[in-house]
Amino acid sequence: MRAAIELERVTIAVGTRRILEDVSLTLQTGELAAILGPSGSGKTTLLRAVLGFVPPTLGTVRIDGAVVSADGRILRPPEERGLAMVFQDLALWPHLTVAANLEFGLESRGLPRAVRHERIRAMLARVGLTERAGAFPSELSGGERQRVAIARALVLEPKAILLDEPLSNLDLPLRRELLALLEQLLAERRVPGLYVTHEVREAAALGERLVVLEGGRIVQQGTLDSIRAAPATPFVRAITQDLA
C-alpha cells in the first residue's frame, strides 16, 4: 500500500541550529497519527515541511508516493499537494463569510458552482453550521470558528489533513465535544491525519499511533500501551504517567 505521507531522513536546519534531525515518518492511508512533544521540539516545523512551506535541508518528503520536496528544494508548491490544514489560530479569513471561507479552496480546484455549493451545504450541515453560512468569523463563537476551520479543511476532500494543536485554546467540555466530532468526521471520510499536540490525553483519544518528538528527533513511536510499557525518555515517562 502506498503511504499518504512519507518523510525520509528529513533534517531542517536554520543556520547552525537543527530544528528537525533525521526524521523518518510514514503515514498510511486512513491512519491517524498524533505527534507529541514539548514546546520547541519541532512539531510545527514538521507539519510545515510536509505542507511545503519550508524545504528540508536534507532528506525527502513524499505525498502519495511522489517526491514533493528534497534536499533543500520544494518540487511541488503547497497548493499542488492536495493537503489540508487546521491551523492553531484557525486562520479563518476575516473578510470572507463562513461559506466563502469554504468555497475559496473549491474555487481554486475549478469545481463548477453547483458542485461547490452542494459540497459546502453538506459540510456545513454535517458540522451543524447551516444557519451560520452567511456569518463572518468575527460573528462566531469559539466553538463555531473551530468547526468552520475543520469544515474548511475537509470540504476539499484532501489526501491528508494536518492539524496543529487546533483545540489548544478551548475549555475542556468544548474540547471533548470537538474531539468527538473530529474523530467521527475523519473516520467517515477515511482521511489520513497528522495531529500535533502537547496534550497526551488528546493524542491518546485521537491517534492510533503516537509519535514523540524531542529536540527535533523522533524518540519513540507506537501505540499508547507500547509506549507506556517502555518509555524511551524521562519526558515520555512523565507524560504517560499523567494518564495513569
Partner 1 sequence: MLAAAGAVLIGAALLPLLFLVAELPATGRTALSILGTGRPWVLLLRSIVLAVPVVILSLATGTPLGLLLARTNLPLRRTLWGLHLFPLFLPPFVLALGWFHILGRTGLVGTETTARAFFGPAGVVGVLWLTFTPVCTSLVALSLLAVDASLEEAARLVATPIRVASRILVPSAAPAVLLSAILVFALTISELAVPMFLRVDVFPAAVFARLGGIDYAPGEAFALALPLVPLALCLLWLERRFVGPRSFAVAGLRGMAREPIALGPWRPFAAFAAWFLVLLALAPLLVLGVRAVRGGGLFELPRWLGQAPSNSLLSAGVAAAVIATLGFVLGHAAARRLRGATTLDALSMLAFVTPAPVLGVGLIAVWNRGWTQAIYGSIAILVVGFVARYTVVALRAVSSSVLQVPRDLEDAAATAGAGAVRRLKQIVLPLNARGVLAGWLLAFVFCLRDLETAVLFYPAGREPLTVRLFTLEANGRPPVVAALALAQVALTGAVLGAGLLAFRLRRVPA
Sole binder of partner 1 in the list 93, 171, 233, 238 (CB under 8 A):
93
Pair 199, 120: CB distance under 8 Å = no
User: Under the criterion CB under 8 A, does residue 136 sit at the interface with partner 1?
Assistant: no
C-beta of 182 vs 239, nearer to partner 1: 182
Sole binder of partner 1 in the list 2, 66, 73, 79 (CB under 8 A):
79
* Residues 146-165 within binding reach of partner 1 (CB under 8 A): 152, 156
C-beta of 106 vs 224, nearer to partner 1: 106
User: Under the criterion CB under 8 A, does residue 83 sit at the interface with partner 1?
Assistant: yes
| Nearest alpha-carbon partner for 91 in 39, 119, 51 | 51
User: Under the criterion CB under 8 A, does residue 73 sit at the interface with partner 1?
Assistant: no
C-beta of 118 vs 157, nearer to partner 1: 157
User: Under the criterion CB under 8 A, does residue 145 sit at the interface with partner 1?
Assistant: no
C-beta of 148 vs 200, nearer to partner 1: 148
User: Under the criterion CB under 8 A, does residue 94 sit at the interface with partner 1?
Assistant: yes
CA–CA distances in Å: residue 225 to residues 138, 171, 209, 228, 241: 42, 27, 10, 5, 12
Pull the grid cell for residue 151: 469544515
* Residues 10-69 within binding reach of partner 1 (CB under 8 A): 51, 53
Sole binder of partner 1 in the list 57, 88, 97, 130 (CB under 8 A):
88
Pair 18, 12: CB distance under 8 Å = yes
User: Under the criterion CB under 8 A, does residue 109 sit at the interface with partner 1?
Assistant: yes
Size of the residue set binding partner 1 (CB under 8 A): 22
Report in angstroms how near the CB of residue 87 gets to partner 1 at its nearest. 5
User: Under the criterion CB under 8 A, does residue 111 sit at the interface with partner 1?
Assistant: no
Beta bridge partners of 69: 61, 74
Which residues, at least 6 apart from 222, have a Cβ–Cβ distance to it below 8 Å?
209, 210
Enumerate binding residues for partner 1 (CB under 8 A): 51, 53, 77-79, 81, 83-85, 87-89, 91, 93-95, 104-105, 108-109, 152, 156
